[in-house]
A and B are shown apart, each in its own frame.
Chain A
Amino acid sequence: EAGVTQFPSHSVIEKGQTVTLRCDPISGHDNLYWYRRVMGKEIKFLLHFVKESKQDESGMPNNRFLAERTGGTYSTLKVQPAELEDSGVYFCASSQDLRSANEQFFGPGTRLTVL
């Protein structure tokens, strides 16, 4: 069974440009999460989808970030326009259902560098 995949693995863009990150969860997983790790700091929650609906987007930093999950399958996270402080590693995770303590499976992350 394929794990969580993320594309691209690395992205280097200039301030003001737009970048779109993609996450493909494990097949059949209704829950999809985005997290971000800024260098040297903790991994922070961004948002949580249940199928195509946003369950919790309390961690989204500002309106330059837009996440979508059309059809409840893969998800995209768009940053527009990118700022220097957006640099970091963006992780995606998925889980099968909302039973207590159900494991979240993580992808390898996308390393975003904004110059």
Chain B
Amino acid sequence: AQSVTQLGSHVSVSEGALVLLRCNYSSSVPPYLFWYVQYPNQGLQLLLKYTTGATLVKGINGFEAEFKKSETSFHLTKPSAHMSDAAEYFCAVRGNFGNEKLTFGTGTRLTIIP
């Protein structure tokens, strides 16, 4: 079975400050890991994903995440927050071929303070 834990349902950072959203996962097989973002009144949009290879993954809008197998973590970071980053962020894991469903965390709502 797979599971995802996102620490902090609400995170507030000042504009220009570092954004760090935490995600830990549990998986019995090598995982595929994803971060999705949901802006108000929109669907989920893929920010980035880890499949194999390089453990530091770069995504859209300046976000990146690092897969750390020893810590079972896939934290999302951005060096400098922008007002437009205010949204809800979801970490998700899926298994290999034959188990394509995504298992999501509970989400983290990011607020940017001007």
Contacts and interface: CB of A to CB of B under 8 A. Distances in A.
Interface of A: 3-4, 31, 33, 35, 40-45, 48, 55-56, 59, 91, 93, 95, 98, 100-109
A31 B100 contact: yes
Contacts of A93: 44
Contacts, number: 62
Nearest to B105: A42
A28 B15 CA distance: 41
Nearest to B92: A43
A39 to B, nearest CB: 11
A101 B43 contact: no
A42 B45 contact: no
Contacts of B94: 101
Contacts of A45: 101-103
Interface of B: 4, 32, 36, 41-46, 49, 51, 90, 92, 94, 96-97, 99-107
A33 B103 CA distance: 12
Given A56-B100, A101-B49, 10 more contacts: A33-B101, A41-B106, A42-B105, A42-B107, A43-B90, A44-B104, A100-B32, A104-B102, A108-B41, A108-B42
10 contacts: A33-B102, A43-B44, A45-B101, A45-B103, A48-B100, A56-B99, A100-B32, A100-B97, A101-B49, A105-B46
Contacts of A3: 43
A100 B96 contact: yes
A48 B94 CA distance: 13
A103 to B, nearest CB: 5
B100 A42 contact: no
B33 to A, nearest CB: 9
Given A45-B103, A48-B101, A100 B44 contact: no
B104 A98 contact: no
Given A41-B106, A42-B105, A103 B46 contact: yes
A84 B104 CA distance: 23
A35 B94 CA distance: 14
A93 B97 CA distance: 17
